[in-house]
C-alpha cells in the first residue's frame, strides 16, 4: 500500500474517533445536567411537603398561642416567599428565612406545655422533623450532582464543549444555620 493512500485513511480514522469522543462527551454533559435538574426537582418535592405542613402547624399553634401573632405572621410570610420563589437562588434564600421563622415558632411553643402535649402538634412536629431530614439528604444529593456537573463543564476536555452549559449554584446552608435554636419536646 502506498503512503499516499495510508495518510488519508489515518486522517479519516482520527476524525471519526474525535467525532465519536465529542458526541460521548456532549452526551455525558447532558446526562449530568439532567441529574442536577432531577436532584433539584426531588428537593423541591420535599420543600413543598414542608410548605404544606406549615399552615397546619401554624393553625395548631394559633389555637394555643394566639397572641404570638408576629411569630405566626413571620412563618406565614416566609412560607409565601418560598412558594413564590422562581429560581434556585431565590428558593435557597427564602428557605433560609423560613428555617429561622420555624425555629422561632418552636421556641414560642416551648412556653405552652398544653401545646407540646397536643397530639396534632406532636404529629405535625414529627412529620416536619422527618421532612427536614429528607430535605437535608436532598440538599446533599443536589450539591453532589452540582459538584460533578460543574467539574465536568469546567475541566478539560468538557470545557471545550460546554459553551451552552452554565454552572449551577450549590444549595448552601442558610445564614445562621450553625446556630440553630435547640428545641426539646
Evaluate whether residue 111 is within a structural domain.
yes
Q: What is the pLDDT of residue 25?
A: 95
Whole-number pLDDT of residue 165: 94
Apex 30 CA angle, 152 and 40, nearest 5: 85
pLDDT at 174: 57
Residue 179 is assigned to a structural domain of this protein? no
Q: Is the residue at 178 inside a domain? A: no
Average pLDDT per block of 10 residues along the chain, 185 residues long: 87 96 95 96 91 88 76 90 89 88 85 80 88 92 96 94 90 55 42
Q: Provide the number of structural domains found in the chain.
A: 1
Within a domain: residue 77?
yes
Q: What is the 3-state secondary structure (H, E, C) of 143-162?
A: HHHHHHHHHHHHCCCHHHHH
**Cα gap 172→150, rounded to integer Å:** 15
What grid cell was written down for 22?
Answer: 465529542
Q: How many CB atoms lie within 10 A of CB 13?
A: 10
Joined grid coordinates for residue 57: 402547624
Cell 452554565 -> residue: 166
In a domain, 181, yes or no: no
Q: Cα separation of 124 and 22, whole Å? A: 51
Whichever domain contains 53, its CATH number is 1.20.1440.20
117 located within any domain: yes
Per-residue pLDDT, 104: 86
- Domain assignment present for 158: yes
103 near 180, Cβ under 8 Å?
yes
pTM of the model: 0.75
Return the pLDDT at 175. 52
Domain span including residue 25: 3-164
Asked whether residue 82 is domain-assigned, the answer is: yes
Phi, psi of 140 (to 5 degrees): -65, -45
Amino acid at each position: 500500500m502506498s503512503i499516499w493512500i495510508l495518510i488519508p485513511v489515518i486522517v479519516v480514522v482520527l476524525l471519526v474517533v474525535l467525532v465519536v469522543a465529542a458526541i460521548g462527551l456532549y452526551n455525558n454533559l447532558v446526562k449530568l445536567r439532567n441529574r442536577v435538574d432531577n436532584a433539584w426537582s426531588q428537593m423541591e418535592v420535599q420543600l413543598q411537603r414542608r410548605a404544606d405542613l406549615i399552615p397546619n402547624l401554624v393553625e395548631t399553634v394559633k389555637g394555643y398561642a394566639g397572641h404570638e401573632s408576629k411569630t405566626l405572621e413571620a412563618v406565614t410570610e416566609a412560607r409565601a416567599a418560598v412558594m413564590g420563589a422562581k429560581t434556585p437562588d431565590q428558593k435557597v434564600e427564602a428557605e433560609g428565612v423560613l428555617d429561622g421563622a420555624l425555629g422561632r415558632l418552636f421556641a414560642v411553643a416551648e412556653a405552652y406545655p398544653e401545646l407540646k402535649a397536643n397530639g396534632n402538634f406532636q404529629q405535625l412536629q414529627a412529620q416536619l422533623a422527618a421532612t427536614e431530614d429528607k430535605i437535608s439528604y436532598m440538599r446533599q444529593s443536589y450539591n453532589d450532582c452540582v459538584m460533578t456537573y460543574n467539574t465536568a463543564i469546567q475541566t478539560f476536555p468538557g470545557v471545550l464543549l460546554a459553551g451552552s452549559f452554565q454552572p449551577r449554584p450549590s444549595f448552601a446552608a442558610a445564614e445562621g444555620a450553625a446556630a440553630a435554636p435547640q428545641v426539646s419536646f
